[in-house]
Structure 1
Amino acid sequence: MPVRLDWKKLFLNTSDASGAPDSSTDAADSSSNRSPRRPLVILLAGVLAMALVVGGVLLVRQHSGADFRLAGASAGGVVNASAVGKGGVEVTAPEGEGLHGAEVTVDGKRVPVRTTGRHLTVGLDGLRDGTHELKVATEGSMLGGSELTRELKVDTTPPKLAVADTEGRSLRGPVTVKGRAQDAAEVTVAGRKAHVGKDGAFSVTLPRPPAKATAVATDKAGNTAREDAVITVRRPTLRAVHVSGQAWASDQLRKPVLKLLKEHRINAVQLDIKDELGEISYDSKVPLAKKIGAAKGYYDAKKAIKEIHAAGGAVVGRIVAFRDPVLASASWKDGHRDRVVRTPDGGPYGAGSKYGSLSFTNFANKDVRQYHLDLAAEAAKLGFDDILYDYIRRPDGKLSSMSFPGLGKTSPEDSIAGLVARTRAVAREHGAFLGVSVFGVAVTRPKEIAQDIGKFAKQCDYIAPMVYPSHWAEGEYGVSDPNSHPYPITKKSLADFVKKTRHTDAQIVPWLQDFSLGVSYGDAEVAAQIRAAEDDGIHSFLLWNPAVRYHGGALKPMK
């Protein structure tokens, strides 16, 4: 509160050097014996008071700060980096008192301010860490102005944070993140509070590895340091065979696959979720799938997953993405034509191609993208261990001959890689790995069908290149007849993928050929491809045969 001035005591009393009343001034002086100096003192005091007012010299009412409010500093007067970055500290004057024209100094030097009524913002840009004196002096009335003096401690130095790289064992199990945060009062990782020791060492156990975990260290002043925790969970060796939805429903085709699994020749089954026809093989509950009639229910997803798990295998759910005649046709019919890849004149793309018109959906359309995110989330919740995209690309052909409504200035490569990133987050949330099937030529020709391997490798757990010998042209990689020489074409092409993904966490799980096309393939040809991959340091693979009949003799039992 303002200091109360008692004018009578201030000007009429006299004191000796000790501060006690003059002994000659007592009750007896009220009579005729009153000291002759009193009238003179009164007169001088009155003249001095009038001179102070008339001369414009104002007495200052000192404020301890109780009447002023200070925002942007802690109760202890500490100003952190956040407060400095947001403009400094704010002073609010007592009710009925304005701050217009106030003089503000820090360490005796005037500083820039912004004033609005009773509020005054003091900029602290460039102020070094340490203790400083803030002074706000206001103009006043006849009785004087007001002054606020406050000691401020500026502390903008964040804690020193370092997070150790972490490798988890499973996407569905706990993982412990460790690190050190010097001068931190609190540390959180992915929103969970960590235990912090006296030396700053901390640890926190997360229920499962997230796609991204940010560590945040906060000191007593409120300064923060952030660092993303690198949590790597490598997909264990994967040896699987492709099985379509309808094939799984056939005892004649399903049982031989389960036999390979029980003999440990494979350790996983790739089971179709959505195929090249756009049909979903189980009874999907995704609203758009039900609306367009895509869910066919060829097999019971939970039952199939349980059976494969019981036989000791994992389940890789394949989602054929943008080759989808069911969604394309239904969308065109219902007026949602931006869901379809178009020609420059607005028609459906693909007429005259091997796929036919209304065969490719538009990867840039938000409904199409959400459809695949929903399918991936549903499958991971059902218990599929992996989500494996196929046809995650634009159609073959010249880019100038097709149109993708909604793409804007984003490149097709970036747009598709963005969906891969979003899908990985969804899959990880429910404990599933994410793989991406790509053309063999994509490693050297990323724009041919909008599959940029370098970008994909940063957004998925593994790349599955289709390096079928029958699909390479004569002379590719210096091999005159790739189809007749499965070992060299497989080894040379996969070497490029290994090189391209070397500085990422993505693994290579190639699609290998177990079918005959022009050249008869048996145990020897399949085994040659597996050996070529191993010589490149790759021990995982997926075998493809559209008829779902595999050469078990080419598969050595796993230990």
Structure 2
Amino acid sequence: MKKWMAAGLLLLALTGCTRYEPAREMTVPEQTEDSGPEEESFEPEEPIVLYTEPIREPVKVKGIYVSAYVAGTESLMDEIIAQIDATELNAVVIDVKDDEGRITFQMDSPVVSQIGACRLYIQDMPSLMAKLKEHDIYPIARVVAFRDPYLAEKKPEWSLHKADGSICRDRQGLAWVDPYKKEVWDYLVEVGRMAGEAGFKEIQFDYIRFAVDRTMRDVVYNEEDTLGRTKTQAVMEFTEYASEALKEEGLFVSADVFGAIIKSQEDAEAVGQDYGAMAEKLDYICPMIYPSHYGPGNFGIQYPDTQPYDTVYQALLGSRECLDGLGEGAAVRPWLQDFTASYLEHYIPYGDEEVRQQIQAVQDAGYEEWILWDAGVSYHYGGLSAGEE
């Protein structure tokens, strides 16, 4: 879900809700003695609906990430649902458009069909959605945005290019699509709409940013696409564009952002993410505040990964400070770490206790929602509270 990030970010590539009123109804008033002569009256069998607006019912999410492979494997998904039923968990974030740019279930979208983007990890989405509904589990669609090597290769005119016209790739050899291009925005919105039609209640965009690898310094942007806009303006305009379009469909909209951008203008400008501005347009903003993503000395903590409570607590105090005074805006729903960052020089094994400490830090910082991340979908359920009886 995430990548190592330049500009001082030590990162690994792992990866306020608006409510609508119900339709107003118009009925014909009853005739009374003082109403004057009765010409002709009628009683409609049903109210006449003047207009309708989608009703969105917010959920305070305590969730986990689930890969499309696991979601599409009935036995594995049944095990996860059993754990959700037994704990405080109530939501799952499932890959709909994954890190490779592949669509994970049958989706009859023009661009998806044209480029053959479907890889059917989830063969029977209606059955999966029915089971999640039966267990009162809130489904969130993860849509990886601008890191899309599949789309970039299939539609090179939408990808990032070097001065010689060749496709520019990151350190892993993966191509990205151009965040300035309106065609890419429309594709992402269409995928979100189709996910909503499949039963998802929320669209969560990941990699809603620019690439920061050194190799990407060679990118040459087309002035016809940039129109003089900065990276931050491009990401902000896409955020607003996608949010408006998908909210009209009755969907909630969220986005994953780097935790480091909360207090670092340099990091924010590098990736094009403005925490406060994005929060004003989204329903939920999801900072990735994994302790392993902070370098030595952050928040005055020698090795943040070894102090999960302190790191998460300080990161969320920064979030509160950044959003203070903005009024109605996105609810903050942080991503928490449920994996061991053994690639670090100074780390600790993460288990039940480390998960519980992070959740406690979220609560102590005044927030109520969170999501756990583990790319292998192997969670420490012992660190979670029991479900309601």
Length-normalised TM-score, structure 2: 0.81
Candidates 241, 250, 269, aligned match of 1:431: 250
Looking at secondary structure, tell me which structure has more helix per residue.
2
Pair 1:205–1:441, CA change in 2 (3 A) = farther
Candidates 138, 149, 152, aligned match of 1:325: 149
CA deviations 1:146-189 (Å, max 9, x no partner) are: xxxxxxxxxxxxxxxxxxxxx99965x6177xxxxxxxxxxxxx
1:479 deviates by 0.9
Using the alignment, how far apart are the partners of 2:233 and 2:246 within structure 1? 20
Aligned twin of 2:194: 378
Using the alignment, how far apart are the partners of 2:209 and 2:187 within structure 1? 16
Aligned twin of 1:442: 261
Using the alignment, how far apart are the partners of 2:197 and 2:105 within structure 1? 14
Aligned twin of 2:285: 463
1:345 deviates by 4.0
Aligned-partner SS, 2:311: helix
Aligned twin of 1:56: none
Candidates 477, 481, 495, aligned match of 2:299: 477
Pair 1:168–1:367, CA change in 2 (3 A) = closer
Aligned-partner SS, 2:200: coil
- Alignment of 1:240 with 2:63, yes or no, is yes
Which has the higher relative contact order, 1 or 2, with Cα contacts under 8 A spaced 6 or more apart? 2
Aligned twin of 1:281: 104
Candidates 64, 83, 90, aligned match of 1:267: 90
1:343 deviates by 2.6
Aligned twin of 2:77: 254
- Alignment of 1:515 with 2:320, yes or no, is no
Aligned twin of 1:208: 53
Using the alignment, how far apart are the partners of 1:242 and 1:474 within structure 2? 27
Using the alignment, how far apart are the partners of 1:472 and 1:331 within structure 2? 36
Segments of 5+ residues of structure 1 without an aligned counterpart are 1-166, 177-203, 211-232
Using the alignment, how far apart are the partners of 2:319 and 2:146 within structure 1? 23
Percent identity for Structure 1 against Structure 2: 27
CA contact (8 A) 2:101 2:148 kept: yes
CA contact (8 A) 1:240 1:542 kept: yes
Across the aligned residues of Structure 1 and Structure 2, the Cα RMSD in angstroms comes to 2.4
1:366 deviates by 2.0
CA deviations 1:104-145 (Å, max 9, x no partner) are: xxxxxxxxxxxxxxxxxxxxxxxxxxxxxxxxxxxxxxxxxx
Pair 1:539–1:323, CA change in 2 (3 A) = same
CA deviations 1:28-84 (Å, max 9, x no partner) are: xxxxxxxxxxxxxxxxxxxxxxxxxxxxxxxxxxxxxxxxxxxxxxxxxxxxxxxxx
Segments of 5+ residues of structure 2 without an aligned counterpart are 1-15, 25-48, 343-347
The one-letter amino acid of 1:261's match is I
Aligned twin of 1:534: 363
1:325 deviates by 1.0
1:344 deviates by 3.9
1:319 deviates by 0.1
Using the alignment, how far apart are the partners of 1:467 and 1:324 within structure 2? 23
Aligned-partner SS, 1:309: helix
Candidates 356, 361, 370, aligned match of 2:173: 356
CA contact (8 A) 1:276 1:324 kept: yes
Using the alignment, how far apart are the partners of 2:50 and 2:352 within structure 1? 47
1:312 deviates by 0.9
Pair 1:205–1:458, CA change in 2 (3 A) = farther
CA contact (8 A) 2:17 2:329 kept: no
Pair 1:168–1:274, CA change in 2 (3 A) = closer
CA contact (8 A) 1:462 1:508 kept: yes
Aligned twin of 2:221: 404
CA contact (8 A) 2:17 2:330 kept: no
Using the alignment, how far apart are the partners of 1:206 and 1:239 within structure 2? 34
Using the alignment, how far apart are the partners of 2:60 and 2:159 within structure 1? 37
CA deviations 1:274-302 (Å, max 9, x no partner) are: 01011111011111111111111221222
Pair 1:537–1:269, CA change in 2 (3 A) = same
Pair 1:511–1:303, CA change in 2 (3 A) = same
- Alignment of 1:422 with 2:267, yes or no, is no
Aligned twin of 2:39: none
CA deviations 1:246-295 (Å, max 9, x no partner) are: 11122443122101222242111111100101111101111111111111
Aligned length: 336
Using the alignment, how far apart are the partners of 1:485 and 1:423 within structure 2? 37
Using the alignment, how far apart are the partners of 1:349 and 1:501 within structure 2? 35
CA contact (8 A) 1:322 1:394 kept: yes
Aligned twin of 2:31: none
The one-letter amino acid of 1:365's match is K
Larger radius of gyration: 1
1:556 deviates by 0.8
Within a 5 Å distance, the mapping from 1:103-118 to structure 2 comes to none
Aligned-partner SS, 1:556: coil
1:316 deviates by 0.4
The one-letter amino acid of 1:394's match is F
The one-letter amino acid of 1:297's match is L
Pair 1:206–1:521, CA change in 2 (3 A) = farther
Aligned-partner SS, 1:272: strand
Using the alignment, how far apart are the partners of 1:267 and 1:413 within structure 2? 33
Using the alignment, how far apart are the partners of 1:344 and 1:378 within structure 2? 36
Candidates 367, 379, 382, aligned match of 1:550: 379
Looking at secondary structure, tell me which structure has more strand per residue.
1
Aligned-partner SS, 1:341: coil
Aligned twin of 1:316: 140
CA contact (8 A) 1:234 1:461 kept: no
Aligned-partner SS, 1:328: helix
Using the alignment, how far apart are the partners of 2:378 and 2:127 within structure 1? 22
Pair 1:288–1:264, CA change in 2 (3 A) = same
Length-normalised TM-score, structure 1: 0.57
Using the alignment, how far apart are the partners of 2:162 and 2:244 within structure 1? 33
Pair 1:260–1:207, CA change in 2 (3 A) = farther
Using the alignment, how far apart are the partners of 1:168 and 1:481 within structure 2? 35
CA contact (8 A) 1:381 1:430 kept: no
Within a 5 Å distance, the mapping from 1:102-251 to structure 2 comes to 174=22, 207-208=52-53, 235-251=58-74
The one-letter amino acid of 1:419's match is F
The one-letter amino acid of 1:265's match is E
